[in-house]
Amino acid sequence: MDRKFRERWFMLLMGSFLVVYIIWPLAGMFFRADWGLVVSTSRDSVVVGALWRSIWTAAAATGIIAIFGTPLAYFLARQDFKGRSVLEAVIDVPIMVPHTVAGIAVLMAFSPKAPAGAMLVKAGLSPVNSHLGIILACMFVSIPFYVDAARDAFHGVSPRLENVSRTLGASFPHVFFRITLPLAKRGLVSGLIMSWARGVSEFGAIVIIAYHPMVAPTLIYDRFATFGLKYSTPIAVQLILVCLGMFVVLRVLVSGKRRDGAGS
């Protein structure tokens, strides 16, 4: 018992380097920030608008990804077919390409001169320098985070449970929504959180297709380039606080529901 205890604490000690590496720069930024400016910028309509724009555009992108990514993830989890590794590689491409390259790719696909962009313009939607452009950029970079997490979550649900329900006469939608989704819920929610967080933090792709209206990362860069570190840090602190708060709330809600389910 003592040996296992020592081994676990040794692993924790080794792994704590990475935890410290995350906390150290963030703590330094919080301690060195001018909190008078942080308070004053929290009342700045431009800053508040950029923060809110980052939150809701990332949420909109995540919602679209969930609608189309959930059936794709289920298909990947349940079907073994030739070319599956190629399809999974394509899904993971946005993780590997530089963010500016992703922005250029999205811009070329949805510019008014491109077929898809021309269709959006005819429909009265502007894909460049607009909220739609921000959502399109967020979608491109966030897809792998949800699809990969959802696929792994569906992998964790035994197909036997689905097959038994089907043999008892349950329809596929009934089995999927009443059995598969609830059992995979934890992984799906984690994927949604990571996908949303990826969209909130995106800068490179968004700045290419939609410098305006500004999201929080773009505003931070703009303030840094114009006024320097002193006036960009308060916005960065607020963005971290908002994201951290939402992370904590979502994680607590998920873990609380999991405990309630286990208790019942």
Which domains does the chain possess? Answer: 41-217 (1.10.3720.10)
- Are 224 and 203 within 8 A, CB to CB? no
- Are 42 and 48 within 8 A, CB to CB? yes
**How confident is the model over 191-226, as pLDDT tens digits?**
999 999 999 999 999 999 999 999 999 999 999 999
**Does the pLDDT of residue 264 top 50, yes or no?**
no
Confidence of residue 257 (pLDDT cuts 50, 70, 90): low
Distances (CA, A) of 199 to 58, 146, 187, 233: 5, 11, 18, 20
Is 182 strand, coil or helix?
A: helix
Confidence of residue 258 (pLDDT cuts 50, 70, 90): low
Written as six digits, the tokens of 9 are 């604490």
Confidence of residue 2 (pLDDT cuts 50, 70, 90): confident
Written as six digits, the tokens of 107 are 């811009």
**How confident is the model over 19-51, as pLDDT tens digits?**
999 899 989 888 888 888 889 988 999 999 999
User: How many whole angstroms separate alpha carbon 194 and alpha carbon 71?
Assistant: 18
pTM more than 0.85: yes
Phi–psi pair at 129, nearest 5 degrees:
50, 55
**Does the pLDDT of residue 254 top 80, yes or no?**
no
User: How many whole angstroms separate alpha carbon 240 and alpha carbon 247?
Assistant: 10
**How confident is the model over 141-191, as pLDDT tens digits?**
999 999 999 999 999 999 998 888 888 888 888 999 999 999 999 899 989
- Are 61 and 199 within 8 A, CB to CB? yes
Written as six digits, the tokens of 47 are 């800053």
- Range 102-110 average pLDDT: 95
